[in-house]
Amino acid sequence: MNQEPKECILNTSPTKDITICSFHNQRNMEIPEGRNLTNVTDFFLLGFQASKCFRIFLFCLFLMIYCGTICGNLLIITLVSTSKNLHTPMYFFISHLSIGDILLSTDIVPKMLQILLYNGGTMTFIGCIIQFYFFGATEAFECLLLAVMSYDRYVAICNPLRYSSIMTRTCCVILPVIAWCFGFFITLISSNLTAVLHFCGPNIIDHFFCDIKPLLDIACSDTFIVHFEITLLSCPTVILPTVIIIVSYFKIIAAILKIPSNTGRQKAFSTCSSHLIVVSIFYGTIFGVYAFPTQDQALNISRLLSIVYTIFTPCINPIIYSLRNRDITQAIKKIFNKK
């Protein structure tokens, strides 16, 4: 059987020369039994193929956003753990969301900054799988946690008299722990199935991190099982939390509309408006990237949406919760007044 000719791209960086070879018509190719094929040990991430000035601008922008993400979320965690008036279920969940945002940004941004500097970069096969694992685990955790937070707001507004008996301290500890364990366990399945795939030809990933879609696109072996597993596990990870959030806010809005005074309606809506904004941004970009099929001309749009939920969302979450929350702003003022 004649093999298609190779296309080799030579990328020169200050450190070393990297030769990237890709094969035509090798996607989702069955590997004949007994045939010796060299597995790919490194991937080349294209990142943002742009001029040097634009890449330097993006580098500075994303570096500032990353620093703001770490500082802002650490501030939220510190305030919730030290301020007595923030020792409530809602703020406890917000602190766990901040931990997830820090893990997500730290998993993606440092390598992306290196890719911006050198107009592309290599990542080992193991490093790529590890990056995908922590990315998927934190994303799955945040999907479940946002559903838990929406249920918390539902109980607080629709059943205020039973709030303390439903959202007990034990319940507030168990729910995030379940979300963490489920997120890391369910992503372990996807990572293992992806790791056993054969990557024998193209090693170019047209993305700024190792996401599941570009990895499956360059796999040489059959990816049906991985696609089926992702579709199956998306029900408890994405679909079920989405249903919980929609039902919770439908009942919340119905309860708010029954409040006779405008002041009461505004006060009730203000308790869940920050969470609603975060949910809209997070799930809007998630569905935009993964739920709808991406065509070749929409790759840039998909990459832009990926930037939103991996870089910008972890940064704006503490801003939304702090600027729109009176308790957190008062806790910040108390710290500055003491100093």
Domains of the chain plus CATH, in order, are 41-338 (1.20.1070.10)
Whether the pLDDT of residue 325 is over 50: the answer is yes
- Output the pTM of the full model: 0.84
Closest CA to 191 of 307, 107, 113, 120: 107
Per-residue pLDDT at 181: 96
pLDDT tens per residue across span 205-257: 888 999 888 888 888 888 889 989 888 888 888 899 999 999 999 999 998 88
Q: Name the more confident of 292 and 172.
A: 172
Token pair of 268 as six digits = 């009730």
Whether residue 297 has pLDDT greater than 50:
no
Q: What is the mean pLDDT of the chain?
A: 83
* Nearby residues of 310 by Cβ (< 8 Å), 6 or more positions away: 104, 105, 108, 109, 135, 209
What is the mean predicted confidence (pLDDT) over 72-95? 91
Q: What is the dihedral of CA 140, 144, 149, 155, to 10 degrees?
A: 170
Q: How much is the average pLDDT of 113-129?
A: 91
Q: 132 near 191, Cβ under 8 Å?
A: yes
Full 3-state SS string of the chain: CCCCCEEEEEEECCCCEEEEEEECCCCCCCCCCCCCCCCCCEEEECCCCCCHHHHHHHHHHHHHHHHHHHHHHHHHHHHHHHCHHHCCHHHHHHHHHHHHHHHHHHHHHHHHHHHHHHCCEEEEHHHHHHHHHHHHHHHHHHHHHHHHHHHHHHHHHHCHHHHHHHCCHHHHHHHHHHHHHHHHHHHHHHHHHHHCCCCCCCCEECCCCCCHHHHHHCCCCCCHHHHHHHHHHHHHHHHHHHHHHHHHHHHHHHHHHCCCCHHHHHHHHHHHHHHHHHHHHHHHHHHHHHHCCCCHHHHHHHHHHHHHHHHHHHHHHHHHHHHCCHHHHHHHHHHHHHC
> CA torsion sign, 81 to 244 to 271 to 97?
positive
- pLDDT higher than 90, residue 49: no
Res 335 pLDDT > 90:
no
